[in-house]
Amino acid sequence: MEFCPKCGAIMFPKDDGFQCKCGHQKKITNELANQYAVSEKIDTKDTVIFTGEDIRTLPTTRSICPKCGNKEAFWWLQQTRRADESETRFLRCTSCKHTRREYD
C-alpha cells in the first residue's frame, strides 16, 4: 500500500503512477514496481479483486423485508453499545438494499 506524503490517505494506481484523493501523484519507479509487482496487462490467470456493494460476501438469512416483502437478507453483527451489552444485528435486504437493525 502506498500512502500520500501530503495528507496520509491511501494512494490508488492510476495510469503510470499512484494518485491520492487530494490530487498528489507519484510516478511508479522500478523500485515501486518491484515492491508492488505492478503489471501493465492483466493475464487470464491473474486474480482480480472487485470491491463494492454488489459483492455478495455476507451471510444470508430468511427475513421478510418490511419495505419490499423480499424474503432474504444479508446479516452482520456490530458492537454499537457498551462492551458488556450484546451486539446489534443488522439486516440488509438482498433485493432493495433496505437496512434495518435488530436488538437482543
Return contacts of 35-38, CB within 8 angstroms, 24+ apart.
36/2, 38/13
**Pair type for strands 60-62 and 17-19:** unpaired
pLDDT digits (tens, 9 = 90+) for 46-55: 666 655 555 5
**Residues with catalytic annotation?**
84-85
DSSP states of 43-89: -TTS-----STT---S-EEE---TTT--SEEEEEEE--S-TTSPPEE
Determine whether domain 60-102 maps to CATH 3.30.43.10.
Answer: no
pLDDT digits (tens, 9 = 90+) for 81-102: 888 888 899 999 999 989 999 8
Predicted structure pTM score: 0.48
Q: Parse the chain into domains and list their residue ranges.
A: 2-36, 60-102
